[in-house]
Amino acid sequence: MAEFHEISPNAAAGEKLLNWIDNRFPLSKLFKEHMSEYYAPKNFNIWYVFGVLSLLVLVIQIVTGIFLTMHYKPDAALAFGSVEYIMRDVPWGWLIRYMHSTGASAFFLVVYLHMYRGLIYGSYRKPRELTWLFGCAIFLALMAEAFMGYLLPWGQMSYWGAQVIVNLFSAIPFIGPDLALLIRGDFVVGDATLNRFFSFHVIAVPLVLLGLVVAHIIALHEVGSNNPDGVEIKATKGADGIPLDGIPFHPYYTVHDIFAVSVFLMVFTAIIFFAPEMGGYFLEYNNFVPANPFQTPLHIAPVWYFTPYYTLLRAVTSEMMYALIACVVVGAVFAVVKGKMPTLFKGLIAGGALVVVAMMLSIDAKFWGVVSMGGGVVILFFLPWLDNCAVKSIRYRPSWHKYLYLIFVINFVVLGYLGTQPPSAIGGRISQAGTLFYFGFFMLMPWWSRMGTPKPVPDRVTFTAH
């Protein structure tokens, strides 16, 4: 049994209450470990606010979602009407709904920026591999959560978007048709699909998401935060055991984060009150029309945060397959000729390449489009083992690395834009080139990340007071 700590009878009522709680629950201990005595690098910059903003938007989504479920009806005949009822008749219902829909886009925006910060500063490198893996799992769960929530308004784009995406699973050899039937719960997207997606969106996926967020934070605080220099502050400690380049997260970075939250909320509320549809990017105009299984919209496209991966899907055509086969063959030849490995491994690579080429020739391009779309997310999980650069941070990498990362960002934005547009000949060629660059960036990283001479990394973090 834990030992109880006594407190002076003359102590203030608040202190007595806190002592009573601490004797039964480690409240003060948790606060010290994760806030007041958690030492973070003193050179954090603006890129380090997106983690707390992601947490803020998660809370907004959960709270607004609870209020929306009070009035929403997961029934194919009533769903669209219940959303209109929330918008028009429920007191402040329009505000709650717009907070939730805008929050979905805000969530992806801050998560994309959070992940990009990790990319440029090497936050996925040792010893933070598990923190990165939890973060990628959060991103994957977030995509599932957003997709399932996207169906719930039961508008035209919700219905047909779900129809297209679920049908993609039928392209998987052998199990595809049965898997698509299992997801839909029927032979077409209908009432059963809506009920399944509602259950997962409201209960199952949020529980997984919360668990992953807790694991992500615990893993981060176990190894400590990275910083723009990529220097481990735990390597240089004072006589008291405190990192010389570290400062307590509270109150220094809590004030920092409160300022960022204030700015974010001003922008967030401005969008809610003045442009909640954001020109059709946050809420598509077709989604204000009830779902009609007998009338297909002229152009079906997902919400903006899915469009880069939707473009990866559309880019894989029958002729694109030949380019992919060429890439596999060239990659295998390069690995066998240039790689320093046993003959057995070279034989396995050559044999594996032949098997992949045979599969690519025998399986329909639609399946490989699905693989491309999923692979665009899954490849992020392998990033800690793909990057072989001698330094972590972009600050000390060869200068041309910065331009390569810039091109990657531009390419990602272009892929996202093309996903919102109807298919075209020029757009198709650009999306195919962009797809090759996207995967080439990661798959060739073990080679290009070693190229060039990095700049000297300081022993201590560089910091200028501001």
Is there a binding annotation on residue 256? no
Amino acid identity at 252? Y
Amino acid identity at 354? L
Looking at the DSSP bridge assignments, the partners of residue 385 are: none
Which of left, alpha, beta for 154 (phi over 0: left; psi -120 to 50: alpha)? left
Burial of 145 from C-beta contacts in 10 A (0-12 / 13-18 / 19+)? buried
Gap between the Cα atoms of 372 and 177, Å rounded: 19
Is there a binding annotation on residue 71? no
Contacts of residue 391, defined as CB under 8 A and 6 or more positions apart, other chains included, come to 122, 230, 397, 454, 455, 457
Closest CA to 123 of 257, 247, 228: 228
Q: Which two tokens stand for residue 81?
A: 């009407």
Is there a binding annotation on residue 5? no
SS3 per-residue string spanning the chain = CCCCCCCCCCCCHHHHHHHHHHCCCCHHHHHHHHHHCCEEECCCCHHHHHHHHHHHHHHHHHHHHHHHHCCCCCCCCCHHHHHHHHHHCCCCHHHHHHHHHHHHHHHHHHHHHHHHHHHHHCCCCCCCHHHHHHHHHHHHHHHHHHHHHHHCCCEHHHHHHHHHHHHHHHHCCCCHHHHHHHHHCCCCCCHHHHHHHHHHHHHHHHHHHHHHHHHHHHHHHHHCCCCCCCCCHHHCECCCCCECCEEEHHHHHHHHHHHHHHHHHHHHHHHHHHCCCHHHCCCCHHHHCECCCCCCCCCCCCCHHHHHHHHHHHHCCHHHHHHHHHHHHHHHHHHHHHCCCCHHHHHHHHHHHHHHHHHHHHCCHHHHHHHHHHHHHHHHHHHHHHCCCCCCCHHHCCHHHHHHHHHHHHHHHHHHHHHHCCCCHHHHHHHHHHHHHHHHHHHCHHHHCCCCCCCCCCCCCCCCCC
Extract the annotated binding site for a ubiquinone.
221
Extract the annotated binding site.
100, 114, 201, 216, 221
Extract the annotated binding site for heme b.
100, 114, 201, 216
